[in-house]
Amino acid sequence: METMIGRVTHYFPRVSVAAVVRDEHLVKGDRIHIHGPHEDVYQTVTSIELDHIPIREADMGQDIGIKVAHRVHEGDLVFKES
């Protein structure tokens, strides 16, 4: 089962990081699914940053950066696997 936790607001290709506006709690090590018209990415969260500072977990409402394995696009939905 998956729960929508946010949406990609920007992708930084040089560092493979997706900026995500979040609606739910996220912890390093969680499994996520990023889905959009061009991609369907499943991965474990290995890196979360808030204002360029590494953090272990992100609370609701924080705009965070997540290291991603594949290119994603603005507007893609981010789900957390349960």
Kindly report, residue by residue over 22-63, the tens digit of the pLDDT: 888 899 999 999 999 998 999 999 999 999 999 999 988 899
Indicate the CATH number of 2-81 among 2.40.30.10, 2.40.50.180, 3.40.190.10, 3.40.30.10: 2.40.30.10
Residue 79 confidence (pLDDT) above 90: yes
Residue 82 pLDDT exceeds 90: no
Q: Which of 58, 66, 51 is nearest to 20 (CA)?
A: 66
From residue 71, alpha-carbon distances to 5, 10, 56 in Å are 19, 11, 23
pLDDT confidence of residue 61: 86
- How far apart CA 33 and CA 28 sit, in angstroms, is 14
Mean pLDDT of the 3-13 span: 96
